[in-house]
Structure 1
Amino acid sequence: MSSQPAIVYTSRICDSDTMTNKLIYQIRQNQLSPTELNKLQARCNRELNELRQELNDLLNDLRAIADRSKTEPSAADRVAAAGSTSNNQTAPRKTAA
């Protein structure tokens, strides 16, 4: 049996306001070396690419849902259609007096 958890959580810089604010402060105060800045830039690029991919996946899911809703009648449409086929009588029209 594996000792690794089934779900692995990765923390992103953008997920923590504290981390974001700390990094902003360190950058403004010139507390990071060029090497640290390069590592931070590489990490930010990786995280940005991950977020873009997640957004693309979510958009594709939404598009698939929208396509299905266009081709499948909604529950309200099915109920209305069932009601109109079972009762072909129409209500009398109200006329202005």
Structure 2
Amino acid sequence: MAAAEAAAAVGKQQQKGGGGRGGGGGGPAPFLTKTHQMVEESATDEVISWGKEGRSFVVWKPVEFARDLLPLHFKHCNFSSFVRQLNTYDALNGVLLG
């Protein structure tokens, strides 16, 4: 399966306060918080986990990710929509799409 490695912009945006995209009171945007929670959860490491240096994450199983994890955190199960949303936060620097 193709793996998508997204750069640490998710974490960087959280540290900066979300970049003003839906974060409300200066906190991180909900999309970034939910994405971080998905990656952080050790029970899902076979599907999505942090990269080697912890500054990026890898979606190891995109089909399972879209089917099982996305609907738990978002109102959709579309992997392409998730990637598009990452793009809005400039979170795809150095992405590898197989």
User: Which one has a larger percent strand, Structure 1 or Structure 2?
Assistant: 2
Larger Rg: 1
- Under TM normalisation by the shorter chain, which class is it? under 0.3
Structure 2 length normalisation: TM-score? Answer: 0.26
Structure 1 length normalisation: TM-score? Answer: 0.26
Greater RCO, CA 8 A, separation 6+: 2
User: Which one has a larger percent helix, Structure 1 or Structure 2?
Assistant: 1
